[in-house]
Amino acid sequence: MNNIEKYKDDLDALVMLGHEMELDLTYRHLKEQGELTDEDGKHADKIRESFEKSYQRWYTESCSVIRQLIPFRYDEFEHLYKGEGRRKDINGHTYTIQDWQNGIRSGRTANGKKVFDDFAGATMRFKTQLSILKSIQSRFTSTLFDIRQLVQADLFDSELGAARELLKHKFVRGAGAIAGVVLERHLAQVMQNHSITTRKTNPSISEFNDLLKNAGVLDTPSWRQIQRLGDIRNLCDHNKEREPTMEETEELISGVEKFTKTLF
């Protein structure tokens, strides 16, 4: 299975899970309104609270897909979950999905009525998130869809496979050099995804790494790991004082493979 097929399968599974959570919310609304049929009630029992149970996993995986395939919608998607950083109060306009997941509910008036409809607020925001995720599906069949990154991901897999084959036959420097090039090109793509620029014509892994950390794309542990991978790459490419070990080069290949799958 190539990367394009994998992305499509993962996306279809996420959309299907999203539909189940949406249906759970719909059934709960119908029940509250006294409009849930006996037949729908049986299905509602099977998926009861799937929104609360599945949302965090769905959100995390959806963020990864959206960041990779439609990065210009990522901030909007995240905002629907988190809302504004600082709020004077929680009301129908500022209420978020995160509030619902954390068990924060609307206050009530003196006569017992909710100040605002928290359930409707969370539902509306989730439906918008699901629509953003679903918008990716049509792009796979659209001539406007830019598959450059997906094709590049396939190429990276192939090149890392070649690096492992070289390492297996003890061509340690060559294997490390290939993995280093893959890491360098992937970091350049991540820079482009986040609209981060550099004045240098040929930035190094270390320079890419620092720019991404300063922009908040990388946390400190990831930055340190990439720095370590860059050091091994330099050992494979330039250092004549000693040979890189098999273990170091395997660490480089595995590390590059990890970041090409998780850093977008």
Residue-wise pLDDT tens digits, 2-38: 566 777 888 899 999 999 999 999 999 999 899 999 9
Residue among 124, 133, 95 nearest 29 (CA): 124
Task: Show the CA angle centred on residue 105, arms to residues 102 and 107, nearest 5°.
Answer: 150
* Confidence bin at 64 (pLDDT 50/70/90): confident
CB–CB of 125/51 below 8 Å?
Answer: no
Number of folded domains that form the chain: 2
- The three-state secondary structure class of 108 is strand
* Confidence bin at 171 (pLDDT 50/70/90): very high
Which of residues 82, 113, 141 is at a domain's end?
141
Which of residues 141, 161, 182 is at a domain's end?
141
Q: Are residues 117 and 234 in the same domain?
A: no
* Confidence bin at 194 (pLDDT 50/70/90): confident
pLDDT tens figures, 37-51: 999 899 999 999 999
Q: Are residues 97 and 168 in the same domain?
A: no
The answer on pLDDT for 149 being more than 90 is no
Q: Are residues 14 and 122 in the same domain?
A: yes
Determine the pLDDT at residue 261: 83
Q: Are residues 57 and 13 in the same domain?
A: yes
Q: Is the pTM of this model over 0.85?
A: no
Determine the pLDDT at residue 6: 74
Can you give the residue range of the structural domain that contains 191?
Answer: 148-262
Q: Are residues 170 and 101 in the same domain?
A: no
Q: Are residues 108 and 166 in the same domain?
A: no
Q: Residue 215: phi, psi to the nearest 5? A: -85, -5
Q: Poorest-confidence range of 13-22, 48-57, 151-160, 191-200?
A: 151-160
Which of residues 111, 141, 171 is at a domain's end?
141
CA 34 vs CA 29, 37, 123: distances in Å: 9, 9, 18
What mean pLDDT value characterizes the chain? 89
Using CA atoms, how far apart are residues 229 and 249, in angstroms rounded to an integer? 9
- Residue 46: count of CB within 10 angstroms of its CB: 9
The answer on pLDDT for 143 being more than 50 is no
The answer on pLDDT for 79 being more than 50 is yes
Segment of 105-114, 145-154, 189-198, 222-231 carrying the highest mean pLDDT: 222-231
Query: What CATH number is given to the structural domain containing 152?
Result: 1.20.120.330
The answer on pLDDT for 144 being more than 60 is no
Q: What is the mean pLDDT of residues 185-210?
A: 92
